[in-house]
């Protein structure tokens, strides 16, 4: 497990951009943490790293937003509204062709065993502690490529 602190929204976005530039098709990032913890902020950076041109915002009321990247798409899922429901969104069929970023993964029943877990702790209005846990070799390699371990 690796830990880093960001001291501003722009630092969190830069961290996400680094991850996005090194991400591979078929990866899953599981984002954990409280409301306003930085999950959507880092996703903005991930999208930037993938070459997404549109504005990235929380998919809270739609559950899924799809963003066109230069080489592959970004699926941004907010699973919070899936709590206490056993919906099968059928997204596992598309996993190999996109990068999936899942907020509130504890409510997502289709979460794969291999993934990158990113957990946010709110320190103050600007500061976040961000922990990375690679679950699988390709995610360990990703963290190495990004200089995060």
Domains and CATH numbers, the chain: 2-145 (3.40.50.300)
* CA 85 remoteness from chain centre: 22
Residue 97 DSSP label = G
Which has more pLDDT, 49 or 96?
49
Task: Tell me the CA end-to-end span of the chain in Å, nearest whole number.
Answer: 8
Q: What pLDDT does residue 118 have?
A: 98
The whole-chain average pLDDT of the chain stands at 90
Mean local confidence (pLDDT), 57-83: 86
Q: What pLDDT does residue 86 have?
A: 57
Least confident residue range of 21-25, 94-98, 111-115, 140-144: 94-98
Judge if pTM exceeds 0.85.
Answer: yes
Judge contact between 26 and 96, C-beta under 8 A.
Answer: yes
Residue 17 has pLDDT above 60, yes or no: yes
Report the SS3 class of residue 42: helix
Q: Which of 148, 149, 146, 147 lies closest to 18 in space, CA to CA?
A: 146
């Amino acid at each position: 497990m690796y830990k880093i602190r960001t001291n501003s929204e722009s630092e969190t976005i830069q961290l996400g951009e680094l991850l996005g530039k090194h991400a591979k098709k078929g990866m899953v990032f599981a984002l954990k943490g409280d409301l306003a913890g930085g999950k959507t902020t880092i996703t903005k950076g991930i999208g930037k790293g993938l070459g997404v041109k549109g504005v990235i915002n929380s998919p809270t009321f739609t559950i899924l937003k799809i963003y066109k990247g230069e080489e592959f798409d970004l699926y941004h899922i907010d699973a919070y509204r899936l709590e206490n429901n056993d919906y099968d969104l059928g997204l596992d069929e598309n996993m190999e062709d996109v990068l999936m970023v899942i907020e509130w993964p504890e409510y997502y029943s289709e979460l794969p065993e291999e993934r990158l877990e990113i957990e946010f702790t709110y320190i103050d209005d600007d500061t976040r502690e961000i922990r990375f846990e690679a679950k699988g070799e390709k995610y360990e390699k990703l963290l190495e490529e990004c200089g995060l371990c």
